[in-house]
Structure 1
Amino acid sequence: MKLIIGAMHEELQDSIAFYNLKKIEEEKFLIYKNEEIMFCITGVGLINSAAQLAYILTKYEIDSIINIGTSGGCDNSLKQGDIILVDKVYNSVADATVFGYAYGQVPRMPKYYETNKEKIMNKIDSAKIKNIASSDIFIHSIDQVNSLVKKIDDEISILDMECFAYAQTAYLFEKEFSVIKIVSDIIGKKDANNVQFNDFIKIAGKEILEILKKIL
């Protein structure tokens, strides 16, 4: 069974309705499924994301995981609405460099997590392949990008608060993991953010459904 996982209900509600998914859990975790696919809405943040994905992977038979949703951009080559197929996933606030680890690397874990993008890249012609970094900090300024994200020894184009947790959990459970993001805004690029987030997320939810139709 494929698992579609994301942070916000607004991002996935159109897809949940289209695939006629039934809510099977809601007391602690919000989980929907039919006979072929499962959706989980984790809420925002690294711990929420890791805990809920680990719960699902210990309780249900999951073959592969796709994280899909919106993401902020820190790359001026991007624009609002761009579809991103993530290559590498980094942590933008882990710092064990005093012990010889790379900035962003959790001790005794990989420097980054590489996704299984090859399985879906040919199905989304308009997607751009970029790297993402995650943290529990809502990064919204150039100063934050410079002080946190730019310390990573790679080019980071988009940011969120969940993806790294999904990626590390998938790695520990040895599950295939892919990431698709729609750029909601570009930090420091005012003319790039024509639609405010509360309106944009409704547009993104419809686009997410169209993407899922292509890859599921």
Structure 2
Amino acid sequence: MKLIIGAMHEELQDSIAYFNLTKVENEKFLIYKNDEIMFCITGVGLVNSAAQLAYILTKYEIEWIINIGTSGSCDDSLKQGDVVLIDKVYNSVADATAFGYAYGQVPRMPKYYETNKTNITNKIQFEKIKNIASSDIFIHSLDQVNLFVNKIEDKASVLDMECFAYAQTAYLFDKAFSVIKIVSDVVGKTDANNIQFNEFIKIASKEILKMLKKIL
């Protein structure tokens, strides 16, 4: 079974309706499924994301995890509405450098998690392939970008509060993991953020459905 996972119901609501999914859990975890695919809405934050994905992977047989949704960016080459295939996933607030680890590396774990891009690119071609950095901080200023994101050894262009938790959980459970993000705003680039988020997310939900029709 393929699992589509994301933070917000608004991002996936058009896809949930289109694929005619049944809500199977609605207490601590919001899960929809049919015989072939499952959608999970985890809510925001690293702990919510890790806990809910771990719960699913211990209860259901999942072969491929796809995180798809909206994310911010700190890359001037990107603009609102750009669709980005994620390559590497970093943690922008882990700091064990005093023990010889790279900034962003959780001790005794990989420096980053590389996503499965082949499963996606076999069906959709992407012009933009970027890295993502996650934290429990809503990064909305250039000062925050410099303080957290720019300390990572590699360039991280996309920002969110969930993806690293999904990636590390998928790694621990040895599951294929892919990520597609739609840029909702660019930090420090006000002229690129023309549509307010409450309206933009409705547009993004329809774009997500278009992509999932091709992938699934």
Q: TM-score, normalised on structure 2?
A: 0.99
Q: In structure 2, what is the Cα distance between the partners aligned to 1:34 and 1:28? A: 20
Once the two structures are TM-superposed, the CA of residue 126 in structure 1 deviates from its matched residue by 4.1
1:202-213 alignment, distance < 5 Å: 202-213=202-213
Q: In structure 2, what is the Cα distance between the partners aligned to 1:34 and 1:122? A: 24
Q: In structure 1, what is the Cα distance between the partners aligned to 2:127 and 2:86? A: 9
Q: In structure 1, what is the Cα distance between the partners aligned to 2:122 and 2:79? A: 21
1:1-216 alignment, distance < 5 Å: 1-216=1-216
Q: In structure 2, what is the Cα distance between the partners aligned to 1:3 and 1:82? A: 23
Once the two structures are TM-superposed, the CA of residue 210 in structure 1 deviates from its matched residue by 0.2
- 1:67/1:163 contact within 8 Å kept: yes
What is the CA deviation profile of residues 2-23 of structure 1, one whole-angstrom value per residue up to 9, with x for unaligned ones?
A: 0000000000000000000000
Once the two structures are TM-superposed, the CA of residue 28 in structure 1 deviates from its matched residue by 1.1
Change (3 A) 1:25 1:127: farther
- 1:42/1:48 contact within 8 Å kept: yes
- 1:121/1:127 contact within 8 Å kept: no
SS in 2 for 1:109: coil
Once the two structures are TM-superposed, the CA of residue 119 in structure 1 deviates from its matched residue by 1.5
- 2:85/2:126 contact within 8 Å kept: no
Runs (5+) with no aligned partner, structure 2:
none
SS in 2 for 1:143: helix
SS in 2 for 1:32: strand
SS in 2 for 1:123: coil
Number of residue equivalences: 216
Runs (5+) with no aligned partner, structure 1:
none
* % same residue: 82
Q: TM-score, normalised on structure 1?
A: 0.99
Q: In structure 2, what is the Cα distance between the partners aligned to 1:109 and 1:198? A: 37
Q: In structure 2, what is the Cα distance between the partners aligned to 1:19 and 1:56? A: 20
Q: In structure 2, what is the Cα distance between the partners aligned to 1:57 and 1:150? A: 33
Q: In structure 1, what is the Cα distance between the partners aligned to 2:95 and 2:27? A: 35
Off by >2 Å, runs of 4+ in structure 1: 122-127
